[in-house]
A and B are shown apart, each in its own frame.
Chain A
Amino acid sequence: MYWTYLRRELSGRKKQTAIVAIGLAIAIALVIIVNALSAGVRDAQAQALESVYGVGTDVTVTGAQAEPGESGQGGRGPQFDFDEDGGQTDDDGTTSLSQSRLMTDFLRGTLDASTLGTVTAIDGVAAASGALSLTNTTFDGELPQRPDADAEGGTGGQEMPQQGEGGGMGGGFGGGSFNVDSFTVLGIDPADTSVGPLSAVELTDGRALEAADAGSEVAVLDASYATSSELGVGDTIDVGGTEFEIVGIVGSTSSDADTASNVYIPLDVAQELSGAGDVISTVYVQAESSDQIAAVQSALEEALPDATVSSQSDLASTVSGSLSSAGSLITSLGTWLSIIVLAVAVALAVLFTISGISRRTREIGTLKAIGWSNGRVVGQVAGESVVQALIGGVAGVALGLIGVLAINLVSPTISSAPSADSGPGGMGQGGMGGGGMGGGFGSQLGQTATDIVLSAPLSLWIVLAALLLAMAGGLVAGAFGGWRAARLSPAEALRAVA
């Protein structure tokens, strides 16, 4: 009889049942979609981070942010010096110039190589690996003969403009053509790639760097970069004016992301070629367990006060672009929207239940008069609310699944990039101006922006949690309604409608 009565009551007030169920359904669908999208963004962030920092990196140690002029190598951008024999002059007087420079990140200080030992000695550190992040910039172009070249003698070197000085060569003649090309180079310890950027890559061709490669001029290339530069295993690449043999090609484990750098070379060779000395730019640290990360971070900050120590959560904040925007949007707007809609739906359910009790005063009074216990009446009212909420919950789950399916079918692509103001490891100093300089520096320097397909993974847990949430909403409404029904004295209930 319980279920018959319950079913008849709900079907007898279809409009009210539908409003409450639709409200809850929208709220539950939003909860499911927001949760799935959040999980998708988390996955995308993890994917973006793994491509940059590798799997299992809990903490990174980098040189402190440097003011221009403070860091090594003069604290300036790429600088090209051509002496008298720096180019070849043709018969028509046009001089061809070409130079390749390998430099550390000029806005971030480096760390002494001994830092790796300091890090390894910290309690709770399971593994650590050092890397030197460099940028190789190649200047390549032709300089026509100046009309008054003879008068001025044309002696001495010609210093090229600094990055950011803007386009044009000044003066009163033109016709020069310059190309500036750059790619990122990461010097890594070839004997230990278990922690750091190469821990998250897969070998697509050739071989990885090995311990025996120390001191050798061999390089491994990022698959995307190798494709765009039309390079393959067995070819050579000019790094800092030295030809390196390409021994392997690596790609990100995600088809949508690039690896941390364009080119990987042995650390000792990178240190020597860049002229930076016995330094590294980043130490990738793996903690013994996740609950020790905070302690390791604190210990590292204490042991290395001049360095920047970043945890995974700090690293996550370095992922910017629309991925970051999506994350913020979902976290703030999506979550609040879910909460507000859920609160409104539950409030509606409560109000409808209470007004339903008022409307059913005679019915409840009659039930009590014919011997129904208070508990039985409350159970009936609460049961109606819970079933009503369950209808909304099931509809919400269906709606949510459709929404998630639609997102996965559309598969929106969002971009991720290390942000311009941090970027452990010296990544991401893009956008440096240089208009009018041929290819320009702007898009070339180390910005490893990647497009990531955003998916909305759905777990059974989310579905169950959503249903439980709906039931909880029904219970809240039922509790209010039941409380109201329990307070109705049968005599007063019947007197009120007499």
Chain B
Amino acid sequence: MTMIDETVRGAAETPAVPAYRLVGVTKTYRQKGRVVQALKGVDVEIAQGDFVTIQGPTGGGKSTLLQLLGALDKPTEGHVMIGDTDLAKASASHLEKVRAQEIGFVFQAFNLIPTLTAAENVDMGLEPLGLGKSERASRVAEALAHVGLAERADHRPGELSGGQQQRVAIARAIAKRPRVLLADEPTGNLDESMRDEILVVLEELNAEGLTLLVVTHDSAVARRARRRLRLDKGTIRDITR
């Protein structure tokens, strides 16, 4: 099944190269001695600049799909195209390069390094780019300002609230100026007010043209998306109303 985001295409008037194009993607792996088929022939296109949520039950294949989209893993079968690059055929070093330059990651548990300050955590995302010191400092400051944490640059994660930590994680992801931002349950560990805080930040980034793919269980998050996909038992369907 191929699902093209007609809304975005229509808005742009001219066909654009999709941010992602997945063709016949299957992923199987072994777990406790048995073979698990996490994804079964998934076909999907994600347009550039779209805001897409992926919902579904636990064990439905959401995390597996996110790992394929994030160039963290390769499909067992099929193609995962990011721009013109087929991640299924890319070498390990090419995948590293794609992760370093094209993709920003935001995790449910923030995954910040507790011994580093907010600014240093953001800087970690720039490490693989080989930028000069001043360029890095400028990008770090800009990213933190973008998420409203310029004043907290020298604070360590333990000194920040959950929402602030997630904003630092978002700053780390966007400092590299990626093509897409992948978020795995970005509001899963946050209360309602903090969730709204993060959603505002994400919506602002999307409004600036950043493609957003968010895996979520939270229907409040899904309602804010332009396009909603559901992944269940390894198959995907569009549930956008």
A→B interface (CB under 8 Å): 1, 4-5, 8-9, 11-12, 362-363, 366-374, 376, 489-491, 494-495, 497-498
Which chain A residue has the least Cβ–Cβ distance from B98? Answer: A371
B→A interface (CB under 8 Å): 63, 67, 70, 72-73, 92-93, 96-97, 99-101, 103-105, 107-109, 111, 113-116, 120, 123-125, 127-129, 172-173, 176
Q: Can you list 14 A-B contacts (CB < 8 A)?
A: A9-B115, A368-B96, A370-B105, A370-B172, A371-B99, A371-B100, A371-B103, A371-B127, A371-B128, A371-B129, A372-B96, A372-B100, A491-B67, A495-B63
Contact of B99 among A1, A11, A362, A368 (CB under 8 A): A368
Residues of chain B contacted by A498 (CB below 8 angstroms): 63, 108
Contacts A5-B124, A363-B111, A368-B72 supplied; 14 other A-B pairs, CB < 8 Å: A1-B123, A4-B120, A5-B120, A8-B115, A8-B120, A12-B115, A366-B113, A367-B124, A368-B99, A370-B99, A370-B125, A371-B176, A489-B73, A494-B72
A178 to chain B, nearest CB (A): 86
Which chain A residue has the least Cβ–Cβ distance from B123? Answer: A1
Q: Assess the B115–A11 pair: CB atoms within 8 A.
A: yes
Which chain B residue has the least Cβ–Cβ distance from A9? Answer: B115
Residues of chain B contacted by A368 (CB below 8 angstroms): 72, 96, 99
Give the CA-CA distance A1 to B172 in the complex, in Å.
14
Give the CA-CA distance A491 to B176 in the complex, in Å.
21
B31 to chain A, nearest CB (A): 10
Question: Looking at B97, B104, B105, B108, which has the most chain A CB atoms within 10 Å of its CB?
Answer: B105
A274 to chain B, nearest CB (A): 84
A483 to chain B, nearest CB (A): 16
A109 to chain B, nearest CB (A): 78
Residues of chain A contacted by B96 (CB below 8 angstroms): 368, 371-374
Q: Assess the B72–A373 pair: CB atoms within 8 A.
A: no
Residues of chain A contacted by B172 (CB below 8 angstroms): 370
Q: Assess the B125–A373 pair: CB atoms within 8 A.
A: no
Which chain A residue has the least Cβ–Cβ distance from B110? Answer: A366
Give the CA-CA distance A82 to B210 in the complex, in Å.
123
Which chain A residue has the least Cβ–Cβ distance from B74? Answer: A491
Contact of A373 among B108, B128, B173 (CB under 8 A): B128
Q: Assess the A370–B72 pair: CB atoms within 8 A.
A: no
Residues of chain A contacted by B109 (CB below 8 angstroms): 362, 497
Give the CA-CA distance A11 to B67 in the complex, in Å.
33
Residues of chain B contacted by A367 (CB below 8 angstroms): 124
Q: Assess the A1–B113 pair: CB atoms within 8 A.
A: no
Give the CA-CA distance A368 to B105 in the complex, in Å.
11
Q: Assess the A490–B72 pair: CB atoms within 8 A.
A: yes
Contact of B116 among A5, A362, A371, A489 (CB under 8 A): A5
Give the CA-CA distance A489 to B105 in the complex, in Å.
16
Given A5-B124, A370-B105, A372-B127, A363 and B113 contact (CB-CB distance below 8 Å): yes
Residues of chain B contacted by A4 (CB below 8 angstroms): 116, 120
Give the CA-CA distance A498 to B128 in the complex, in Å.
25
Of all A-B residue pairs in the complex, the 6 with the closest CB atoms, nearest first, are A371-B100, A8-B115, A12-B115, A491-B73, A371-B128, A366-B111
Q: Assess the B111–A8 pair: CB atoms within 8 A.
A: no
B70 to chain A, nearest CB (A): 6
Contact of B124 among A370, A494, A495 (CB under 8 A): A370
Give the CA-CA distance A9 to B124 in the complex, in Å.
14
